Structure 1
Amino acid sequence: MFKGRIFSLTILAGCSLVLAACASQPKTLALSDYGSYRCGQLDIRVAPAEDGQLLGLEYLDRRVLLKPSPTDTGALYVAPGDTSTRFLAEGKRATLTLKGDLLPECLEPGAIESQFEAIGADPDWSALIENNRMTLTPPYQQQALNEIWLTETLANRHGRTFEAKTEAQSLEVRVAHQLCEVGLDKRQYPSQIRLTLDGNSFEGCGGDRERLFRGVQWVVEDLAGAGLIDRSMVTLQFLGNGRVAGRASCNRFMGNYRLSDDGLSFSTLGSTMMACAPSLMNQERKYLELLGQVVDGRIGRQGELLLETGNGEVIKAFPATTDNL
């Protein structure tokens, strides 16, 4: 009898240790079936490494191996010895922090943000989709319709289609991930929207506008039509929390940016104090002066960034193809 009690206690203690160990283990890999995501302007690929324990993360010309780490949700992977680089996978969406910068929500091809906003003009309408529920302010109406439950009827790498039926009407929302412009000022958004109510269709745009600018470094190729000095490097990167940084020719600079319905602007720009050749210093001075005068930013037909000043001068930049700038 005494031995039996010892045996029972041993089993219970062993089970407790097993449960504690299991609780501390990282969750099963929860990757998109596509194995790829888009985090703003940055395309990434993820796949288990050859040993099956680490996760390979590829972006631009880099490949980083990440180690599994305990988490309460999804599957978390962290760069060994560098907690400023981490990837949290949650199926069709993910969160990526690179070198301390939290990128826009990473989406598998065709997926929409966890909180997806859409607007239309002429007539005006707006919608918010979250967890397959939609809040809609229909065209020609002021009062919002809340708690419309959506059914996803189409999902592919190009977008999503949702349908719903209420007591008053039937509706369909189609989302296509193509550059979209809305309103008289032609504000740009990452997705085109078609809202159909009882057979009547209304066009609009949607998605987080910061996705158009963030995720990559932009390499400047032209300053107000004057080009750049050969082999000089001028860059710009939109970071989290409204911060901006880059290389101005000789020095590195940092500051703030603001993206709103009124446009895009930069403020409190400052730089390091290195001295270079006079020609580089002149180019740097011109670049920072132009940045301070920017009133709007757009994405061109070739994917280039166009920053326009109040005088109509334009800074043109393209996404970097390397991480080694």
Structure 2
Amino acid sequence: MHVDAGRSIADGSLADRLAGRTFLSRTVIGRDLVPGSAISVDFGADRRLHVYAGCNHMSGDLRFDGPRLSVERMSTTEMRCERSLLDQDGWLASLLQPGLDAHLNGDALTLTGEGVTLQLMDRRAADPDRPLENTVWALRS
């Protein structure tokens, strides 16, 4: 899938432009992430949103209304994690359900709502796959 730099989500089918792509958080404004954690947002080809913020995996049906996306019928795993990660899951889930305004510019995705801005980068650009061949491996214990 090719995305033209500078196109807003409203310039095409939001579902088609995001389907099959995973984005990783680069910056969060309006909330502090737990140190060492990040947010992963996966737009499944099945039109479901899959989100992970360090503890539980969350998913739900993705709905689009122009440049606004929301998640319906959210489900989550129930892992036992430290309180700060559970709280982080909570605010992220509450942010997704009423909906977020979205803007896609090349590999950069910005989601904004409820006083929070998530600046994310396509996983392939933020954390590209590394080659297996010609890689030096070290075995420890």
User: Could you give the per-residue CA deviations for residues 290-313 of structure 1, whole angstroms, max 9, x where no partner exists?
Assistant: 11232321124x74211122x343
Match of 1:298 among 103, 111, 114: 103
1:308 corresponding residue in structure 2: 112
CA distance in 2, matches of 1:322, 1:271: 28
**Quick one: which amino acid aligns to residue 308 of structure 1?**
T
SS of 2:97's equivalent in the other structure is helix
Match of 1:256 among 37, 61, 65: 61
Aligned residues: CA RMSD: 2.7
Q: CA deviation at 1:265?
A: 1.5
CA distance in 2, matches of 1:180, 1:289: 28
Q: How many residues align?
A: 127
SS of 1:279's equivalent in the other structure is helix
Gaps of 5+ in 2: 131-141
1:308–1:314 Cα contact (<8 Å) kept? yes
TM score, norm. by length of structure 1: 0.34
CA distance in 2, matches of 1:228, 1:221: 11
1:222–1:228 Cα contact (<8 Å) kept? no
Stretches of 4+ aligned residues off by more than 6 angstroms? none
Q: Which structure has the higher relative contact order (CA within 8 Å, separation 6+)?
A: 2
Q: CA deviation at 1:221?
A: 3.4
TM score, norm. by length of structure 2: 0.72
Judging by fraction of residues, say which structure has more strand.
1
Q: CA deviation at 1:262?
A: 6.2
Provide closer, same or farther for how the CA distance between residues 263 and 246 of structure 1 changes in structure 2, counting only shifts above 3 A. closer
1:255–1:270 Cα contact (<8 Å) kept? yes
Match of 1:319 among 122, 128, 140: 122
SS of 1:274's equivalent in the other structure is coil
**Are 2:70 and 1:243 aligned?**
no
2:31–2:116 Cα contact (<8 Å) kept? no
Provide closer, same or farther for how the CA distance between residues 179 and 262 of structure 1 changes in structure 2, counting only shifts above 3 A. closer
2:10 corresponding residue in structure 1: 188
**Are 2:100 and 1:273 aligned?**
no
User: Could you give the per-residue CA deviations for residues 240-271 of structure 1, whole angstroms, max 9, x where no partner exists?
Assistant: 24211131320111111112336221111111
1:220–1:317 Cα contact (<8 Å) kept? yes
Match runs of 1:49-198 below 5 Å: 177-181=4-8, 188-189=10-11
2:21–2:44 Cα contact (<8 Å) kept? no
Match of 2:88 among 283, 305, 311: 283
CA distance in 1, matches of 2:42, 2:68: 17
SS of 1:275's equivalent in the other structure is coil
CA distance in 2, matches of 1:242, 1:322: 24
User: Could you give the per-residue CA deviations for residues 48-76 of structure 1, whole angstroms, max 9, x where no partner exists?
Assistant: xxxxxxxxxxxxxxxxxxxxxxxxxxxxx
User: Could you give the per-residue CA deviations for residues 269-301 of structure 1, whole angstroms, max 9, x where no partner exists?
Assistant: 11101011111111111111111232321124x
Provide closer, same or farther for how the CA distance between residues 212 and 322 of structure 1 changes in structure 2, counting only shifts above 3 A. same
**Quick one: which amino acid aligns to residue 180 of structure 1?**
R
CA distance in 2, matches of 1:258, 1:231: 30
Gaps of 5+ in 1: 1-38, 42-176, 182-186, 190-206
